[in-house]
Amino acid sequence: MDNINNQEEQKRKRKLIVLLFLVILLLASGMTAYFLKDRFFTEPRVISGLPELETGLEVMSDEQMLKFMQSEVDKDKININLKHEISVSKETNVAQLAVKNKPTNAYSIQVEYLLKEGNEQLYKSGLIPTNRQLSEVKLKKSLSEGSHEVMIIYTIFDEEKQINQSTIDGVLYVS
Protein backbone atom coordinates (compact mmCIF):
# COMPACT_ATOMS: atom_id res chain seq x y z
CA MET A 1 0.00 0.00 0.00
CA ASP A 2 2.82 2.31 0.74
CA ASN A 3 4.07 1.69 -2.69
CA ILE A 4 0.70 2.62 -4.26
CA ASN A 5 0.40 5.75 -2.10
CA ASN A 6 3.95 6.66 -2.99
CA GLN A 7 3.21 6.27 -6.71
CA GLU A 8 0.02 8.33 -6.47
CA GLU A 9 1.87 11.06 -4.62
CA GLN A 10 4.55 11.10 -7.30
CA LYS A 11 1.83 11.35 -9.99
CA ARG A 12 0.24 14.23 -8.09
CA LYS A 13 3.64 15.96 -7.80
CA ARG A 14 4.27 15.49 -11.53
CA LYS A 15 0.83 16.89 -12.34
CA LEU A 16 1.46 19.80 -10.00
CA ILE A 17 4.89 20.46 -11.57
CA VAL A 18 3.41 20.30 -15.11
CA LEU A 19 0.53 22.56 -14.04
CA LEU A 20 2.95 25.00 -12.39
CA PHE A 21 5.16 24.96 -15.52
CA LEU A 22 2.10 25.71 -17.72
CA VAL A 23 1.02 28.57 -15.44
CA ILE A 24 4.54 30.07 -15.53
CA LEU A 25 4.64 29.64 -19.32
CA LEU A 26 1.23 31.31 -19.64
CA LEU A 27 2.30 34.22 -17.42
CA ALA A 28 5.58 34.65 -19.32
CA SER A 29 3.84 34.68 -22.72
CA GLY A 30 1.20 37.12 -21.40
CA MET A 31 3.86 39.49 -20.08
CA THR A 32 5.82 39.24 -23.33
CA ALA A 33 2.69 40.02 -25.37
CA TYR A 34 1.86 42.97 -23.10
CA PHE A 35 5.31 44.54 -23.37
CA LEU A 36 5.74 43.87 -27.09
CA LYS A 37 2.16 44.59 -28.22
CA ASP A 38 3.12 47.94 -29.77
CA ARG A 39 5.77 46.29 -31.89
CA PHE A 40 3.66 43.41 -33.19
CA PHE A 41 0.03 44.47 -32.92
CA THR A 42 -0.09 48.00 -34.38
CA GLU A 43 -1.92 49.12 -37.48
CA PRO A 44 0.27 48.98 -40.59
CA ARG A 45 1.63 52.36 -41.71
CA VAL A 46 2.65 53.49 -45.18
CA ILE A 47 6.28 54.53 -44.95
CA SER A 48 7.09 55.29 -48.57
CA GLY A 49 5.29 57.01 -51.40
CA LEU A 50 3.87 60.49 -51.84
CA PRO A 51 0.40 61.71 -50.97
CA GLU A 52 -1.92 62.65 -53.79
CA LEU A 53 -1.46 66.11 -55.29
CA GLU A 54 -3.82 68.70 -53.82
CA THR A 55 -6.48 69.86 -56.25
CA GLY A 56 -7.27 73.51 -56.90
CA LEU A 57 -3.69 74.77 -56.44
CA GLU A 58 -2.68 78.10 -57.96
CA VAL A 59 0.71 79.16 -59.31
CA MET A 60 2.19 82.10 -57.40
CA SER A 61 2.58 85.24 -59.50
CA ASP A 62 5.88 87.11 -59.61
CA GLU A 63 4.39 89.81 -57.37
CA GLN A 64 3.27 87.20 -54.82
CA MET A 65 6.69 85.52 -54.99
CA LEU A 66 8.46 88.84 -54.39
CA LYS A 67 6.15 89.61 -51.47
CA PHE A 68 6.77 86.14 -49.99
CA MET A 69 10.54 86.41 -50.49
CA GLN A 70 10.45 89.84 -48.88
CA SER A 71 8.62 88.54 -45.82
CA GLU A 72 11.18 85.72 -45.48
CA VAL A 73 14.22 87.95 -45.81
CA ASP A 74 12.75 90.60 -43.52
CA LYS A 75 13.35 88.08 -40.77
CA ASP A 76 17.08 88.35 -41.50
CA LYS A 77 17.16 92.14 -41.90
CA ILE A 78 17.20 92.19 -45.73
CA ASN A 79 14.76 94.21 -47.78
CA ILE A 80 14.69 93.22 -51.45
CA ASN A 81 13.82 96.06 -53.77
CA LEU A 82 14.28 95.32 -57.45
CA LYS A 83 12.12 95.53 -60.53
CA HIS A 84 11.28 92.31 -62.32
CA GLU A 85 9.82 94.14 -65.32
CA ILE A 86 12.70 96.09 -66.84
CA SER A 87 12.72 98.53 -69.74
CA VAL A 88 15.71 98.52 -72.08
CA SER A 89 16.58 101.17 -74.67
CA LYS A 90 17.11 99.60 -78.12
CA GLU A 91 19.50 102.39 -79.18
CA THR A 92 21.75 102.49 -76.10
CA ASN A 93 21.22 98.92 -74.79
CA VAL A 94 20.82 100.41 -71.28
CA ALA A 95 18.45 98.72 -68.82
CA GLN A 96 16.58 100.56 -66.05
CA LEU A 97 17.16 98.08 -63.19
CA ALA A 98 16.39 100.05 -60.00
CA VAL A 99 18.14 97.64 -57.61
CA LYS A 100 18.25 99.14 -54.11
CA ASN A 101 20.13 97.84 -51.08
CA LYS A 102 18.38 99.80 -48.35
CA PRO A 103 20.27 101.25 -45.35
CA THR A 104 18.30 98.98 -43.01
CA ASN A 105 19.81 95.87 -44.59
CA ALA A 106 22.59 94.06 -42.77
CA TYR A 107 24.14 92.46 -45.87
CA SER A 108 25.62 93.33 -49.26
CA ILE A 109 23.99 92.02 -52.43
CA GLN A 110 24.79 91.08 -56.02
CA VAL A 111 22.36 90.71 -58.93
CA GLU A 112 22.75 88.76 -62.14
CA TYR A 113 20.43 88.74 -65.15
CA LEU A 114 20.35 85.68 -67.42
CA LEU A 115 18.28 85.16 -70.56
CA LYS A 116 16.00 82.19 -69.95
CA GLU A 117 16.53 81.06 -73.51
CA GLY A 118 20.11 79.82 -73.66
CA ASN A 119 20.93 80.81 -70.07
CA GLU A 120 23.14 83.62 -71.44
CA GLN A 121 24.39 86.24 -68.99
CA LEU A 122 23.22 89.77 -69.80
CA TYR A 123 24.56 91.52 -66.73
CA LYS A 124 26.26 90.71 -63.42
CA SER A 125 26.81 93.41 -60.85
CA GLY A 126 29.65 93.74 -58.44
CA LEU A 127 28.97 93.81 -54.71
CA ILE A 128 26.32 96.39 -53.79
CA PRO A 129 26.76 97.46 -50.14
CA THR A 130 23.95 98.75 -47.96
CA ASN A 131 22.59 102.23 -48.67
CA ARG A 132 23.56 101.95 -52.36
CA GLN A 133 21.47 101.53 -55.51
CA LEU A 134 21.97 100.47 -59.09
CA SER A 135 19.69 102.45 -61.40
CA GLU A 136 20.77 101.65 -64.93
CA VAL A 137 23.36 99.44 -66.62
CA LYS A 138 24.55 98.60 -70.10
CA LEU A 139 23.77 95.01 -71.06
CA LYS A 140 26.47 92.71 -72.49
CA LYS A 141 24.30 91.72 -75.44
CA SER A 142 22.02 93.74 -77.72
CA LEU A 143 18.53 92.30 -77.80
CA SER A 144 15.86 92.46 -80.48
CA GLU A 145 12.84 94.66 -79.91
CA GLY A 146 10.09 93.06 -77.82
CA SER A 147 9.96 91.16 -74.55
CA HIS A 148 12.58 88.70 -73.32
CA GLU A 149 12.19 86.44 -70.28
CA VAL A 150 15.08 86.53 -67.81
CA MET A 151 16.11 84.91 -64.55
CA ILE A 152 17.22 87.36 -61.88
CA ILE A 153 19.68 85.80 -59.45
CA TYR A 154 19.82 87.73 -56.20
CA THR A 155 22.82 86.78 -54.02
CA ILE A 156 23.32 87.91 -50.42
CA PHE A 157 26.78 88.20 -48.83
CA ASP A 158 27.92 88.81 -45.27
CA GLU A 159 31.36 90.31 -44.62
CA GLU A 160 33.17 87.09 -45.57
CA LYS A 161 31.09 84.82 -47.79
CA GLN A 162 27.88 84.17 -49.71
CA ILE A 163 25.05 83.30 -47.33
CA ASN A 164 21.97 83.02 -49.55
CA GLN A 165 20.75 83.09 -53.14
CA SER A 166 17.29 83.50 -54.67
CA THR A 167 16.10 83.33 -58.25
CA ILE A 168 13.04 85.10 -59.60
CA ASP A 169 11.58 85.46 -63.07
CA GLY A 170 11.66 88.76 -64.86
CA VAL A 171 11.00 90.32 -68.25
CA LEU A 172 13.08 92.76 -70.29
CA TYR A 173 11.04 95.05 -72.54
CA VAL A 174 13.26 96.32 -75.37
CA SER A 175 11.92 99.37 -77.22
Instruction: Tell me the per-residue pLDDT of 102-144, one tens digit each, with 9 for 90 and over.
Output: 877 888 889 999 999 999 999 999 999 888 888 899 999 999 9
Give the pLDDT score at 140: 95
Q: Is the pLDDT of residue 52 over 80?
A: no
In a domain, 29, yes or no: no
pLDDT tier at 151, thresholds 50, 70, 90: very high
DSSP character at residue 17: H
Query: Torsions phi, psi of 15, nearest 5?
Result: -60, -40
Position 122, amino acid = L
pLDDT exceeding 70 applies to what percent of the chain?
Answer: 83
Structural domain includes residue 3: no
Q: How confident is the model at residue 40 (pLDDT cuts 50, 70, 90)?
A: low
pLDDT above 70 (res 99): yes
Does any domain span residue 47? no
Place 79 in a pLDDT band, splitting at 50, 70 and 90. low
- For residue 110, the cross-strand partners are 155
CB atoms within 10 A of CB 24: 10
Residue 45 inside a domain? The answer is no
Q: What CATH number is given to the structural domain containing 149?
A: 2.60.40.2550
Cα Rg of the chain, angstroms:
38
**Strand intervals (E) in the chain:** 80-81, 85-88, 94-101, 108-115, 121-124, 132-138, 146-157, 162-174
In a domain, 102, yes or no: yes
37 pLDDT higher than 70 = yes
Domain contains 78: yes
Domain that holds residue 116: 62-174
Q: How far apart are CA 99 and CA 133, in angstroms?
A: 6
Q: pTM value? A: 0.57
Report the pLDDT value the prediction gives residue 1, as an integer from 0 to 100: 63
Q: Is residue 164 part of a domain?
A: yes
Do the Cβ atoms of 104 and 60 come closer than 8 Å?
A: no
Domain total of the chain: 1
